[in-house]
Structure formats: structure tokens, C-alpha cells
Structure 1
Amino acid sequence: MNLSKLPSGGLLAHLLAMIVGILLTVIMQSSSAAVATTLTALYSGVVNFDQAASLVIGAAIGTTVTGALAAIGGSVPAKRTALAHVIFNLASGLIAVICLPVFLRLISWAQENFGLDPGATSLAAFHTLFIGVGVLIFLPFVDFFASFITRLLPDRGPILTSHLDDTLLNMPPVALEATRRCMTDTAGELFRLLEQSLAAKGEIQESAQRLRVQEALIRTRDFLARIPVLTDFEPVSRGRVYLLHAIDHLTRLETHFDAPPGMTSPGTNEILQDAVRRCRQILQTGYEGLLSGQPGGVWLETIQKAATELANERRQERASVLEESAQGVWKPDQGLELLDAMRWLDRIGYHTWRASHYLGQAAMDSLTGKSHETAKSANGGD
């Protein structure tokens, strides 16, 4: 493509240069490469500044094609991002086309009054100028724009795993962050459903929601297993360990939807009442804490304290129930069912605490990139 043969002057010349800029970006699959080519042509005198400006506008518009191609086969969030990119770049390019004479006069004025380099610096300033104007126009309507994109591309897939996108597997740190967000959403839904189950005395009503949680855990586990291992990147390796711990606890917790017989046996409700209340508090606090988006703090400390108290209560009650069963207060079967119910509640509290803890560790690691304490529980870890 011989840029030296581009016509100069007039609207038709500008439009032709823009088309060439679009073609350069599509062919090279990179607007940066197209702009670099334009800079080289400008520096060597093959094109003048007006032609280079039109080529840069074309490159900005052409990048929408590469963005659209990259989104093919991607998840809904990836397609939404690509669509937003396409619309913004097209709008910015259109603004640049309409206001091209004004922008060129502004650059010429800056060259005369501020000594702006008439070459690469001026071209970079021109590119920044029309993109900046586009940002200023879009910024006040960002919420409306986001809603518009969401309506154009509604998410019809599983909500809990909407963050998981196979195209992210080439970027392990990003893939791990997407996995963490997915686990956080799934954990919150799991905590909510279990709390409702306890409120209904162990009878889970929302079977469809439970199935969604099960499917989300399976898909998340599969996605996590396919993220490439970066052994030389310690923060990423540490984050993977936290997420593996979290998915392990969530998977174990999911199996506690089905309450043991002791939860509904006559005469056990009063004894289990305090443990059920404490367990519901743990689940509700965990749900609200994850919903808040805070990786740690008071809510996590509250869960840890309540889970520890629940575990201590189970140990104390175990000896009492066994002794009372030996004295005939409880029939052997009733005593064993009661112990099983206590153990069931204790495990719910424990796995909720540990899953919340590791998700919090992963979130803090993602936010700061610094070393954190290794996850150890107050009673000796896992």
C-alpha cells in the first residue's frame, strides 16, 4: 500500500485516507501498528499532517473491526465489552470526521503558540484530542450507555458463572480473578439458600436454585483446573491455592443441603435451637459480607467467632448427650441422631467460615498483590 499516492486536500481526500487507515488496522489486526506506520510515513515526508490525521481517525474506526472479531465465541461480558468499544470508537471517529477542520486548527494554533512539534507529537495530540472529546461526551451518560449495552446483549446463560470466559485462560491472573468473582457469587447464593433451609427446619424449597449452585461449582472447578500454572509468579500461585481451598469448602458445604433426621426428630428442637440460631447467623453474615464486596473486616471476624463458639458447643453437648443416653434420657437412636444434627450444624458453620476466609484472602491478594498471612484457622487449620 503506497501512502505517497494518497490525494491531498478536500473532503474526498480525507475520506480516502480514513478508509486506508481502516484497511491498515484490519490487515495488521492492530490500530497501534497502523498508527506507528502513519507516524513513520509522516516522519519520512511520505504524507503530510492532514493526511496523517485522517489515517489516524481511520485506525481508530478500524479497531472496532478487530474488537468485534476478538469477541466472536466469547462470553456475554466479553461481547458487551467489545460492543461498547465498537460504539465508542465509531462515535469518536464520527466526531473527529465532523470536527476535523476545528481539530486541525487547534493543533496548528498549539504549534504556533506553544512550540508543539509538528510531527509525531502533534499527531499524538490530535489523536488524544478527538478521543478525549469522545470521552467527555460519553461520560455523563455512562450509566445509560451501560444499560443500553446490557439490553442489546442480555445474559441468557447461567448468572453465577457469567464471569467465566474461556478466552481469559490465556491470561492466568485475569482468569483467576474471574474465578474468584464467580466463587464469591456462588458462595453468597449457597449461604442464602442454606440459611433459608435452616429457617424451614432443614427443608430446602428452592430446588432449581440449588441445582444452579451445583452446576456453578462444577463449572468453576473445571475452569480453575484449566487455568495454566505459572510457577514462577508467586502471587498467582498463592491466589490459586486460596481458590482451591475455597472451592473445596464450598463443595463440602453444598452437600449439607439435606438435613439429618435429628434436625426434625421430636424433642430435639429445643436443644438444637441455639445451635441453629448461631448457624443461621454465620450464613447470613457470610452472605451480607460477600455482598458488600469487602474482602475482610468485622463480618469475617464475626463468622470466625460464631463458628468457633458453635464448635465448642458441639463438643460440650456431645458428652452431655452421650451421658444422658446412657442414663435413659434419650433412646440410643435419638441420642445418635441428635449428635449427628449437632455435627451437621457445626460443619455448616465451619465450611462457611473457611470458604469466606479464603475468598477474602484471594480478594486481598488481588487488590494489593502483596504477601498475606497463610490461611490458618484458630483451631489448627483445615
Structure 2
Amino acid sequence: MLQIIAELCGGVGLFLIGMTLLTDSLKSIAGNTLKALLTKFTANKFKAMLSGIGLTILVNSSTATTVATIGFVSAGALTFAQAIGIIIGANIGTTSTGWLVAFVGLKFSISMFALPLIALGAIIKLLCKDRLALFGLVIAGFGLIFYGIDVLQAAMAGFSEQSDFTLLAYSGFWSKILLVLIGVVMAMVLQSSTAAITATMAALASGAVDFPQALFMVIGQNVGAVSITVLSVIGASINAKRTVAVNVIFNLVSAAVAFILLAPAFIALTQQVAYFQDFDAVILLAIFHTAFSLMGAAIFMPMIKQLEAFVIRILPDDSPSILACLDETSLQVPSAALQSARQVVHYCLFEIFSILRLLIKEGILPKQKQLDELDQVIAQVEEYLEKIALVGHSELKKSFLALLRVMIYVRVLRSDLEHMEYGCLLRTQPMVYQLALDYVHIIDNYMEYGMNLTDLELISHLRDELNNLKKWTSNHRAEIRLKLMEYSEVHQLSAAKGLELLAAQRWMDRLIAHSYRFSNVLYESIDEGH
């Protein structure tokens, strides 16, 4: 018996390692495909659902799809309503693994092919780089998955000979509940509903459990999958919690309806209809698993708006903050994390330019609380950028480095705010003040909050106008300085006051120069991305 348990654990372990290799490598190969699928093909709820199905099949993981969705909702690239459609689709897409196991993994003894696949994948990983190396891990992952299934099936065959599951009959209500709870525990222990369902399929194929028992265990495994996502968002942003709440509601309601209606219907079909009595039980289980998710989609797709309103009501956002974008779960999808960080960096820029606008036009200094909050956001986004891992994501490295360069100028422009008193002082000097107003006029035209700072043409115009202003200040610097000195003499200002006026002029010159360099860096980063 101990040997059988060891084989069971080993089979599950091989399967999980294979799934991890396969999923992580496919996510890396997909790169910006994650973003493209989730942001371009979600115009309506049905397209959002289809995107969720397609992406989950692509990366072989509903968790990866959920995490990516959370990240892009946090970054503002997706609405919460779009996210609901994607989550529903992800639950349907994840059933594809069950079909693969039913038709391939349990129909043939493929261990003799699985081991060469593992070897081939390892060789490609060692000899190649970038995407080819990742493709090697995909091949090795497939090999490990099927080898793990083969080990698991053999162990289940031995387990069925030495175990008696007649106590887990499905005739009574509490027996069904017990089977569901077993499924929940399996998914929680294995941290994967796919692995738990695969183990159930292997048990069914070997006779360790019968078809009705397997149905109720699968219901429990879908519920158990919810606990994995719930644990992943403890302490996460409100957007992450809302997205996971949708997943929880979807799975719990679907499980309840499947328990009451769908499972009894499938049992009745296999017991009373001759055609289904001869049907392969493992394939019927895969059909049930898909029907489970399709039924949930049929329930929730017509009422997405109501579901959205309900989730927002039970999880209100009491403290709206740009820091909600910096969701830790998004770090698992670098393209989502990068977009989240970019949005926060742009927010910092808009905040700095808003402060400068009020300072120069109205003479209003910001409150210390506003500056402290800005410093907190800058510090948080810098920490977040340090956590973004881009191993195997060479196509994102340019964008990442470009964002770091922009971040440097966020810091430079923030340091210019340390001498904001000069902004009030230059308002007393018509010539310098006109220069400051020209600067603010340019900022007003191009740096309104919500504008697209990835628009090449927009940033090109901003750069040209700031460059022209910078050239003008360089050409007239001596003239302005002379007029300031004359003003000091005529009005008999103290030497200290005269020096302050000259310092205010230098501050304005630096601010224009720094803003131009920032626009130039932003332009170059967008141009490289194109």
C-alpha cells in the first residue's frame, strides 16, 4: 500500500511539474499576446468570453488568464465588465485539459513517447536561447504531464484493488456532500483543479471510483479551485478582489446547479439510456466538466451588468488610489505589470505638472500632504519596477528600460518642486513670468490628465514646442538677467533679494530644460516601441 501511495504522489508531482513548465513557458512565449487578446478582443461580453476561452487554451491555465485579467483591470486596460466575461471564458477553457487527458493521456500507454519528449525538451533548452529555449520547456512539460498520467493511472489501478469505496455511495444526500468535500480537499491540497480532475479521471479509468462518484468529486474540485484564487489575493487591490469574487460566485453557483440538476441528469442518462451505458465513462466525465462550465456561462452571461453591480456593492472601493494599479498578482504576467507601472508613472507626471500649473498661473503652493502622497507613489512604483522579472521576455526589455528612463525624469522633475517658492517669486517679474506662462501653455495643451502619453505624434509636438522654448531661453538668458539686475537697482532691492530673482530665473530655465529632456526620452521610448 505504501508503494501505491508513493506512486500516486509521484504521478501527481510529475503532472504538476509538467503543468508548471508548460504554463509558465507558454506565458513567456505568448508575451504581449496576453495583452493583445485581452485588450483587443473584448469589445462585448461574448467576445470577452471567447478571449477567456482562447487565452486559457493557449497558456493551458485558467489561473494565468485570471492573473492577467486582474493585472489589466488594475492598469485600466480592461473594464470590470470585460473582466467578468473573460473569467467566465477561462472557466470554460480550462476544461480543455480534461479532454486532452481523456482522449490521449488515458487511452494510450504513452510513457515510451513521454520520456523521449522530456529528453528532447531538455536538449532544446540547453542548446537554444530565448523563445526556442522556452519551446524546449513546453515539450518537456508535455512529456512530464503524460508520464505523470501514466504513473498515476498505474497507481490508481493498484489502489482500486486494495480499496473499497462502497462506503462512498452516491444514493444519499450526505454521501454526495462527502464526495464533493473530497473533491474540494483534493483541489486545495494539489493547488490545482486540473491536477485533481486528472487524478479523478485516472481513478475512474482504473475502477477505483465509479462514474457517479467521479461526478460529485469533479463538482467539489471546481469549488476547491476557488480557494486557490482567494488565497492569492489576500492583501491585494480591490480590483483583484472583485475579479476573484466573480470567479468565486461563478463556481459556487455553477456547483450548486450541477449538484442539484446536472449530475443527477448525467447519472440518469448512463443508467437508463442504452447508448450512454456503452459510452466511455472518462469521456463522459470530460463532457460533464465542460457542461458544468457552459451551464454557468448560460446563467451569468445574460446578467453580467447585474453581477458587476452586485460585486461592486459587496466590495466597495472606500479609498481610491492610483496605487491600486500596482497589484502584486500582476507581477506574474510581466506585460500586465509593465502596463500597470506605466500608468502610475504617467500619473506621477500629471501630478507634477498639475502642481506647476497651479503654482505659476495662480501662485498656489501645494499642501505638504499632496507632496507626501506623490513621494509615496513614486517610491512604490520604483519598488514595483524592481520586482518585475523579465527573464525570457526579451521583447519587453526595451519597453521596461524606456520606462526606467522616463522614471528618472519623474525624479528630476520632482526635485524641481523643492524650490517652488521661486515659482511665486517670478510672478513679480513680467519678462520671466511671461516665459513661465508660455511654459504652462505648452503643458496645458499636451499634458492634460488622461491623455495618451504613448501617442508618438502628440509627444513629437510636445517635444518640438518645449525645444523651441528652451532655445528661446538660451538666446535671451543674458538679456533677462540684465533686466533683473536693473530692476533690483531701480527698486533698491537688497543683494539677497536680487540673488533670489536670479535664482528664480535659473530655476525656470532648468524646469524648461528638464521638461524638454523628459519629452525627448518619452518620444524615443515610443519610437523604439514602434
TM range (shorter): 0.7 to 0.9
**Equivalent residue for 1:56?**
218
1:310 aligns with 2:469: yes
Query: Which stretch shifts more, 145-154 or 86-95?
Result: 145-154
Identity of aligned residues (%): 24
Alpha carbons of structure 1 residues 216 and 70: separation in structure 2 relative to 1, 3 Å: same
- TM-score, normalization: structure 1? 0.77
**Equivalent residue for 1:272?**
433
> How many Å separate the matches in 2 of 1:324 and 1:292?
38
- Please, which of 289, 296, 303 is the counterpart of residue 455 of structure 2? 296
Correspondence 1:227-238 to 2 at 5 A = 227-228=388-389, 230=391, 233-238=393-398
Please give the per-residue CA displacement for 1:74-110, whole angstroms capped at 9, x wherever unaligned.
44443333333222211121121232257528987xx
**Equivalent residue for 2:505?**
339
Q: Secondary structure at the match of 2:322?
A: coil
**Equivalent residue for 2:422?**
261
**Equivalent residue for 1:219?**
380
Alpha carbons of structure 1 residues 52 and 185: separation in structure 2 relative to 1, 3 Å: farther
- TM-score, normalization: structure 2? 0.57
**Equivalent residue for 2:529?**
372
Aligned length: 358
The offset of 1:143, in angstroms, is: 3.9
The offset of 1:164, in angstroms, is: 2.3
Please give the per-residue CA displacement for 1:110-169, whole angstroms capped at 9, x wherever unaligned.
x9999x963444322322222122223323443443343344334456712222244555
> How many Å separate the matches in 1 of 2:269 and 2:343?
45
1:23 aligns with 2:192: no
The offset of 1:10, in angstroms, is: 5.6
**Equivalent residue for 1:162?**
324
Alpha carbons of structure 1 residues 174 and 107: separation in structure 2 relative to 1, 3 Å: farther
Instruction: Report which structure shows greater RCO (CA 8 Å, sep ≥6).
Output: 2
**Equivalent residue for 1:380?**
none
Q: Which runs of no fewer than 5 residues in structure 1 stay unpaired?
A: 365-370, 374-382
Correspondence 1:1-382 to 2 at 5 A = 4-5=165-166, 6-9=168-171, 11-100=173-262, 104=266, 118-155=280-317, 159-166=321-328, 169=331, 172-201=334-363, 203-228=364-389, 230=391, 233-257=393-417, 258-259=419-420, 261=422, 264-265=425-426, 268-273=429-434, 275-283=436-444, 285-288=446-449, 291-292=450-451, 295-322=454-481, 328=486, 333=499, 336-337=502-503, 339-347=505-513, 349-350=515-516, 353-354=519-520, 356-357=522-523, 361=526, 372=529
> How many Å separate the matches in 1 of 2:427 and 2:239?
50
Q: Which runs of no fewer than 5 residues in structure 2 stay unpaired?
A: 1-158, 490-497
Q: Secondary structure at the match of 1:98?
A: helix
Residue 414 of structure 2 aligns with an amino acid whose one-letter code is E
Please give the per-residue CA displacement for 1:46-84, whole angstroms capped at 9, x wherever unaligned.
333333222211111111222222333444443333333
CA contact (8 A) 1:161 1:182 kept: yes
Residue 239 of structure 1 aligns with an amino acid whose one-letter code is S
CA contact (8 A) 1:164 1:223 kept: yes
Q: Secondary structure at the match of 2:228?
A: helix
> How many Å separate the matches in 1 of 2:269 and 2:432?
80
Alpha carbons of structure 1 residues 320 and 262: separation in structure 2 relative to 1, 3 Å: farther
The offset of 1:306, in angstroms, is: 2.3
Higher fraction of helix:
2
| Root mean square deviation, CA, Å | 3.8
CA contact (8 A) 2:459 2:519 kept: yes
**Equivalent residue for 2:94?**
none
Alpha carbons of structure 1 residues 284 and 107: separation in structure 2 relative to 1, 3 Å: farther
Query: Which stretch shifts more, 234-243 or 17-26?
Result: 234-243
> How many Å separate the matches in 1 of 2:371 and 2:312?
26
> How many Å separate the matches in 2 of 1:325 and 1:193?
26
Q: Secondary structure at the match of 2:195?
A: helix
CA contact (8 A) 1:249 1:354 kept: no
Residue 211 of structure 1 aligns with an amino acid whose one-letter code is D
Please give the per-residue CA displacement for 1:287-345, whole angstroms capped at 9, x wherever unaligned.
34xx255632443233223222221222222243256568x577575873463254144
CA contact (8 A) 2:226 2:247 kept: yes
